[in-house]
Amino acid sequence: MYPIWEVPHLTAGLVLALIATIHILPSHLSTSAMWLNVYLERKSLKENRPELMAFVKRFSKMILIFAYVFGSMTGVGIWFAATTAAPRGISGLIHNYVWGWATEWVFFLIEVGGIYVYYYTIDKVDPKTHLKLGWIFALASWTTMVIIVGILTFMLTPGHWAATGNFFDGFFNQTYWPQLLMRTTAMFAIAGAYAVAVAAGFGDLKARREIVRTASTWAIAGLALSSLAFLWYRAVLPDAALANLAALATPGLRAVMVWAPALAVAYFAVMAAKPSWARLVPALLAIGLIFSGIFSFERVRELIRKPFVIPGYMYSNQIIAGDLPAKGVQSELPEIDREGILHYAPFVPPDLRDVTDANRLRAGRMVALIECAACHTFQETGLRPLPPRIRKLGATGPGDVAEVLDALGAIPYMPQFAGTDAEKQALAAYLFSISK
Ligand code: HEC
């Protein structure tokens, strides 16, 4: 267990989610855009059309600056935020998937080096070699997705890993293929969307129209196929995840998931029919639509695995709640209930280890930080703030709150309370004190 990173009004998890959202824009661009480049570059070679290559050059420059500068910065940001927000969760993932990440980073290095090589060798090496460089880049960048999807889906459906502890049992789990298909097809939609934006300001009219038409067709096909893949994904979700989806996905979130891709398809249909209408601002809005769809999907993906970071194994508050015989790991719950969470967690001020009349509220706040702060805030407003929730339940004293705590484990998306009775009373006293 590690020190707690409390972020008032937001929670550390939301800070992580915000950085990750910004990261989605450049990272998905970097896996997708080169596919359109190699397509256009091939066409330019075969049909001897240098103006297409001029577009490829312009597009590559945008990828280089936007995807790699912002992508790298926010990528490092994700690691910083994730290791601080959920150090044990990350540790659990690294212990299982360190070779997965190592492999991903090999391909990522090819990708990062690749974009510079690709951009700066345009017109400098012979066209066939250059096209090969493009292919290497495109395949390497997609391979990073092939790998990371295994780790991402493992966090929702660890599959037989829970029984065997085997790398590939967790990696190729029941949601792996649908999610890989969903991201791969969405990736082509993203490439198309960016290409329309870049082509909108492109000088050569004939080439512009042709590129806008091709890119819009890619975007429509990508969006349609990824929506189908989403239905497949939903069909293989475990019951617990579906129950969470029903209970936690707000109407707003659902609406964005349906309307954002639908409106984007409508926009690209217009562009495919009337490519000369392409302008930068609407194209950027269409990119915004696609990303709000992706963002809602990522939010839902986070919501439906509650209360776990890794289902059946570790709660979002970092407590190990399930046995993993294959890894020699045991649930910590019995020991925490016996010893007390304030004894069990290492980063507790010494005067708060035992609950007394004098330190009750401070000890209660410490328990709240350890067990609830992963998903709740303690202010009046913000992400799932507890004071209004406690009030809504009509608690008239700490005793009522303690009863709520007893019932937490029965709510499917929340971890059960873990600790001694004295700690539960202290937590109840603290929660009541902030809810008055
Ligand atoms: C894994 C994340 C998670 C953790 C950890 C967590 N909760 Fe929750 N809690 C939720 C979610 C999700 C909801 C339902 C959505 C909402 O209320 O906004 C919820 C709702 C609640 C509610 C309102 C219940 C109702 O029926 O209206 C209370 C009270 C509550 N939590 C208390 C706690 C306390 C106390 C802790 C710490 C001991 C805790 N939660 C830890 C995720 C969590």
Position 164 confidence tier, pLDDT thresholds 50, 70, 90: very high
Q: Does 251 sit behind a cis peptide bond, omega within 30 degrees of 0 on the bond before it?
A: no
Taking a C-beta distance cutoff of 8 angstroms, is the pair 194, 152 a contact? no
Position 399 scores a pLDDT of: 96
410 by Cβ neighbours in 10 Å (0-12 / 13-18 / 19+) ranks as exposed
Whether 185 has a pLDDT exceeding 90, the answer reads yes
What is this structure's pTM? 0.93
From atom 36 of ligand 1, which residue's Cα is the shortest distance away? 372
Position 30 confidence tier, pLDDT thresholds 50, 70, 90: confident
- Centre of ligand 1 to C-alpha 332, Å, is 20
Residues 6+ apart with CB under 8 A from 238: 157, 174, 311
Whether 203 has a pLDDT exceeding 90, the answer reads no
Taking a C-beta distance cutoff of 8 angstroms, is the pair 27, 67 a contact? yes
Residues of the chain with CATH 1.20.1630: 12-315
Ligand 1 atom showing the smallest separation from residue 372 Cα = 37
Our answer on whether the CB atom of 302 is closer than 6 Å to any ligand 1 atom is: no
Position 104 confidence tier, pLDDT thresholds 50, 70, 90: very high
Whether 289 has a pLDDT exceeding 80, the answer reads yes
187 by Cβ neighbours in 10 Å (0-12 / 13-18 / 19+) ranks as buried
pLDDT digits (tens, 9 = 90+) for 355-381: 999 999 999 999 999 999 999 999 999
Cα 130 to the center of its chain, rounded Å:
34
Whether 208 has a pLDDT exceeding 80, the answer reads yes
From atom 42 of ligand 1, which residue's Cα is the shortest distance away? 414
Our answer on whether the CB atom of 383 is closer than 6 Å to any ligand 1 atom is: no
Position 72 scores a pLDDT of: 86
- Centre of ligand 1 to C-alpha 46, Å, is 60
Position 401 confidence tier, pLDDT thresholds 50, 70, 90: very high
Position 151 scores a pLDDT of: 95
From atom 5 of ligand 1, which residue's Cα is the shortest distance away? 372
What number is the average pLDDT over the span 114-119? 95
Residues of the chain with CATH 1.10.760: 332-435
The domain 332-435 is placed in CATH, from the list 1.10.230, 1.10.1060, 1.10.760, 2.60.40, at 1.10.760
Q: Give me the sign of the Cα torsion angle 252, 258, 264, 266.
A: negative
Position 27 scores a pLDDT of: 86
Our answer on whether the CB atom of 415 is closer than 6 Å to any ligand 1 atom is: yes
Whether 1 has a pLDDT exceeding 90, the answer reads no
Position 153 scores a pLDDT of: 96
DSSP-derived pairing of the beta strands 308-310 and 314-315: antiparallel
Whether 121 has a pLDDT exceeding 80, the answer reads yes
Our answer on whether the CB atom of 384 is closer than 6 Å to any ligand 1 atom is: yes
Assigned token pair, 357: 């009349």
Position 323 scores a pLDDT of: 94
Whole-number average pLDDT of the chain: 95
What number is the average pLDDT over the span 413-432? 98
Position 22 scores a pLDDT of: 85
Comparing 14-18, 174-178, 337-341, 425-429, the range with the smallest average pLDDT is 14-18
Q: What percent of the chain has pLDDT over 90?
A: 90
Helices marked H in 47-85: 50-62, 71-85
> Helix or strand or coil: residue 320?
strand
Position 28 scores a pLDDT of: 85
Considering only CA atoms, which of 324, 330, 325, 204 is closest in space to residue 275? Answer: 204
What number is the average pLDDT over the span 205-213? 95
pLDDT digits (tens, 9 = 90+) for 224-244: 999 999 999 999 999 999 999
- Centre of ligand 1 to C-alpha 57, Å, is 51
What number is the average pLDDT over the span 259-284? 96
Instruction: Choose which residue among 366, 389, 433 to substitute to test ligand 1 binding: the one with the highest number of ligand atoms within 8 A of its C-beta.
Output: 389
Structural fold of domain 12-315: Formate dehydrogenase/DMSO reductase fold (1.20.1630)
Residue 119: CB atoms within 10 Å: 17
Our answer on whether the CB atom of 395 is closer than 6 Å to any ligand 1 atom is: no
pLDDT digits (tens, 9 = 90+) for 45-94: 999 999 999 999 999 999 999 888 888 889 999 999 999 999 999 999 99
Position 202 confidence tier, pLDDT thresholds 50, 70, 90: confident
